[in-house]
């Protein structure tokens, strides 16, 4: 082959391998392509890729020998059992092995015949040659350097082949031209490997950052600790179930590994805006809690009311006795006892209502107002109802422990989350993280937040995050205003949300029928919550034919 044809061949290989290296995701396959390209250009019969590990050793990553029909490591299913080679022995550079010397010195080593007298230990090559009948002869070893000049590994190619006039192949040394061409591939390959490593490290850094932010948010509140950790786990369980579904409108849904990775990151970041939410609102465990639970203050006011009942009773008794109406005294005693019983009932009712829950009836709301007007107490010389307007307003919260103003503050965390995520310069392969993360408070009817999106405006991954977020919240045992609910109650509440067009019916159906909830409870919650119930009694389920 003349030099012009050879140069064109090299150029074509460089062009081809450049495209392949830039698109290859698997590092092992990437290194193998580098080796094969080097062997092709040099017409080498065999070759190996070595990489420097964290223990400062050279380890085999791919071995190819055409004559022996050998392919170990790389894309093959055959492992490499050869031991790693230390770069240093007794803190001195290992010069006995050719590959370690190339890595330590950063120099190319080109040898015509390794069996000649050399300062390198080739006993292993000799043993293999003896066992296989192979003859290791010419060898070219060159280091792989990254973008800052650090050596990250080495390529070693063996036995350059050349066709004789008789049409046979003979082993020759690696020429200076071939060496220069191979070095071009080595440089290209090292850059590709470095880029992959940088991307991998960036991924690791970003994922660690996301998990750290989630941990900080969970640490803000002892009542929601673990929420940001559990939601991504449950989200992926649901996503995998939807991916596996072969019936209904989501039968064609496919979750790619890249989308799954984005969904995982989104799960970790879905509540990142809570970092700006005041602690006393996140931690509000009762309706009357501010910096302290005001139920204790109300209990004191009930004691004052109890004292006033006794004082009024004593005044009436004294008046009756002075008037000689002794019969009325026993009646007054009975009236006083009745008043105390009513007061104790009212006090117990207010204490119970303060705890919060899933629903406050209109009757209970009216009863709160009745209790307030039933008793007048005097504080600092001022007569006032037992409960203030603010206390009535908070005790009248229908669900949970947050009043309307506090709920708006909590909801604002999604605006902060949106601002944080939209400010982050996500790389192309993470562009959907923001959309997925912001979907868990949207509703199918467009009445959710932060953007008021409808079902049609949301992707499947963003819709399924809402199912994960709500089930985690309902089944959690660390919420301030409730105990862990049995699964049947959790699913019933969610089914009613489906009927109100709050949650996606198809995703909820898959979640229930595939029993994802069971996997999750067994792994992250209390198995005692898995009560017996009729699956078909759960509202909101769809039957696919």
**Tens digit of each residue's pLDDT (9 = 90 or more) over 173-213:** 999 888 887 777 677 767 777 777 777 777 788 888 888 88
Q: Please list, residue by residue across 132-143, b when 16 or more beta carbons sit within 10 angstroms of its beta carbon and e when fewer do.
A: eebebbbbbbbb
Own/partner pairs, 261-265, CB within 8 angstroms, 24+ separation: 261/429, 261/430, 262/429, 262/430, 262/432, 262/433, 262/436, 262/461, 263/232, 263/235, 263/236, 263/239, 263/436, 263/461, 263/465, 264/232, 264/235, 264/236, 265/206, 265/207, 265/210, 265/430, 265/433
DSSP character at residue 87: S
Asked if pLDDT for residue 316 goes beyond 80, the answer is yes
pLDDT confidence tier of residue 6, bands split at 50, 70 and 90: very low
CA distance 129 to 112: 17
Neighbours of 225 (CB within 10 A): 15
Fold (topology level) of 3-199: Beta-Lactamase (3.30.450)
What ranges in 455-504 are assigned the alpha helix state H? 460-475, 487-499
d(CA 441, CA 412): 11
| pLDDT at residue 333 is higher than 80 | yes
CB 444 within 8 A of CB 454: yes
pLDDT tier at 31, thresholds 50, 70, 90: confident
- Start-to-end C-alpha separation, the chain: 67
How confident is the model over 285-309, as a mean pLDDT? 90
**HSE (side-chain half, CA atoms, 13 Å) at 233:** 15
Average pLDDT on 102-129 reads 87
CB 155 within 8 A of CB 48: yes
What average pLDDT is seen over the chain? Answer: 87
Question: d(Cα 232, Cα 270) in Å, to the nearest integer?
Answer: 9
Token code pair at residue 108: 């190319």
pLDDT score of 29: 79
Backbone angles phi, psi at 378, to 5 degrees: -110, 120
Mean pLDDT of 402-431: 89
Long-range contacts of 517-521 (CB under 8 A, 24+ apart): 517/471, 517/475, 517/487, 517/490, 517/491, 518/487, 519/237, 520/233, 520/234, 520/237, 520/471, 520/475, 521/475, 521/487
Confidence tier at 322 by pLDDT (50, 70, 90) = confident
Check: CB of residue 42 under 8 Å from CB of residue 182: yes
DSSP conformational letter for 373: H
pLDDT tens column, 210-234 = 888 888 887 776 656 578 889 999 9
Whether residue 102 is predicted with pLDDT greater than 60 in this model: the reply is yes
Residue 63's pLDDT band (boundaries 50, 70, 90)?
very high
What's the pLDDT score for residue 390? 94
Token pair recorded at residue 459:
């992707």
Mean pLDDT of 512-520: 95
Peptide bond into 509 cis (omega under 30): no
Among 195-204, 279-288, 422-431, 482-491, name the one with the lowest average pLDDT: 195-204
What is residue 71's predicted lDDT score, i.e. its pLDDT? 94
Longest dimension (CA), the chain: 145
At 275, the pLDDT band (50, 70, 90 cuts) reads: confident
pLDDT in tens, 246-273: 999 999 999 999 999 999 999 999 998 8
**Residue 454 has what DSSP assignment?**
B
CA distance 263 to 258: 9
pLDDT reported for residue 5: 47
Distance CA 380, CA 359 (A): 36
3-state secondary structure at position 156: strand
Q: Which tokens go with 156? A: 């070693």
Give the C-alpha separation, 393 to 183, whole Å: 77
Answer yes or no: are the C-beta atoms of 219 and 243 closer than 8 Å: no
Domain definitions of the chain by residue range = 3-199, 221-283+405-537, 295-400
Q: What is the mean pLDDT of residues 115-128?
A: 82
In this predicted structure, what is the pLDDT of residue 245? 95
> Which among 518, 527, 440, 517 is positioned nearest to 477, based on CA atoms?
527
Task: Report d(CA 102, CA 144) in Å as an integer.
Answer: 9
CATH code of the domain occupying 221-283+405-537: 1.10.3210.10
Q: What is the DSSP secondary structure assignment for residue 62, as one 8-state letter?
A: E
Q: What are phi and psi of 445, to 5 degrees?
A: -90, 5
Write the Ramachandran bin of 169: left for phi over 0, alpha for psi from -120 to 50, otherwise beta: beta
pLDDT score for 164:
84
- d(CA 102, CA 85) in angstroms, rounded, equals 13
pLDDT in tens, 528-543: 899 999 999 999 999 8
Q: What is the pLDDT of residue 393?
A: 94
Report how far residue 175's alpha carbon sits from residue 161's, in angstroms, rounded to the nearest whole number. 11
Instruction: Name the 3-class secondary structure at 90.
Output: coil
């Amino acid at each position: 082959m003349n030099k012009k044809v050879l140069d064109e061949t090299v150029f074509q290989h460089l062009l081809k391998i450049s495209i392949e290296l830039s698109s290859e995701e698997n590092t092992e396959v990437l290194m193998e392509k580098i080796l094969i390209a080097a062997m092709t250009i040099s017409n080498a019969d065999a070759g190996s890729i070595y990489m420097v590990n964290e223990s400062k050793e050279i380890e085999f990553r791919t071995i190819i020998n055409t004559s022996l029909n050998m392919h170990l490591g790389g894309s093959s299913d055959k492992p490499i059992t050869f031991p790693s080679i230390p770069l240093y022995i007794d803190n001195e550079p290992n010069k006995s092995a050719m590959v370690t010397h190339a890595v330590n010195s950063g120099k190319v080593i080109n040898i015509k015949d390794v069996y000649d007298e050399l300062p390198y230990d080739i006993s292993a090559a000799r043993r293999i040659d003896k066992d296989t009948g192979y003859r290791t002869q010419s060898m070219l070893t060159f280091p792989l350097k990254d973008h800052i000049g650090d050596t990250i590994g080495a390529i070693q190619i063996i036995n350059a082949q050349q066709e004789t006039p008789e049409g046979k192949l003979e082993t020759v040394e690696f020429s200076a031209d071939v060496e220069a061409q191979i070095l071009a591939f080595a440089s290209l390959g090292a850059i590709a490997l470095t880029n992959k490593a940088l991307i991998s490290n960036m991924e690791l850094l970003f994922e660690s950052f996301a998990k750290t932010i989630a941990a900080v948010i969970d640490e803000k509140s002892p009542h929601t600790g673990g929420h940001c950790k559990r939601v991504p786990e449950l989200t992926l369980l649901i996503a995998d179930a939807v991916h596996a579904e072969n019936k209904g409108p989501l039968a064609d849904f496919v979750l790619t590994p890249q989308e799954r990775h984005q969904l995982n990151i989104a799960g970790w970041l879905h509540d990142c805006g809570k970092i700006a939410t005041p602690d006393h609102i996140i931690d509000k465990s009762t309706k009357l809690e501010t910096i302290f639970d005001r139920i204790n203050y109300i209990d004191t006011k009930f004691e004052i009311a109890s004292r006033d009942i006794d004082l009024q009773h004593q005044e009436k008794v004294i008046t009756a006795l002075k008037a000689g109406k002794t019969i009325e005294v026993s009646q007054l005693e009975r009236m006083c006892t009745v008043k105390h019983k009513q007061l104790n009932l009212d006090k117990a009712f207010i204490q119970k209502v303060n705890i919060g829950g899933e629903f406050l009836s209109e009757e209970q709301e009216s009863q709160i107002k009745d209790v307030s007007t039933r008793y007048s107490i005097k504080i600092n010389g001022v007569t006032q109802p037992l409960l203030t307007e603010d206390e009535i307003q908070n005790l009248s919260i229908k669900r949970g422990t947050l009043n309307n103003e506090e709920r708006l503050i909590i909801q604002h965390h999604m605006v902060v989350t949106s601002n944080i995520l939209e400010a982050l310069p996500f790389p192309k392969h993470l562009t959907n993280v923001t959309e997925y993360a912001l979907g868990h408070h949207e509703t199918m009817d467009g009445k959710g937040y932060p953007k008021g999106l409808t079902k049609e405006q949301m992707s499947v991954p963003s819709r399924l995050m809402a199912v994960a977020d709500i089930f985690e919240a309902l089944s959690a045992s660390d919420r301030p205003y409730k105990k862990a609910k049995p699964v049947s109650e959790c699913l019933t509440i969610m089914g009613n949300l489906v009927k109100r067009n709050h949650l996606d019916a198809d995703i909820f159906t898959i979640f229930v029928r595939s029993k994802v909830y069971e996997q999750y409870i067994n792994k992250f919650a209390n198995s005692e919550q898995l009560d017996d119930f009729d699956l078909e009694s759960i509202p909101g389920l769809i039957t696919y034919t």
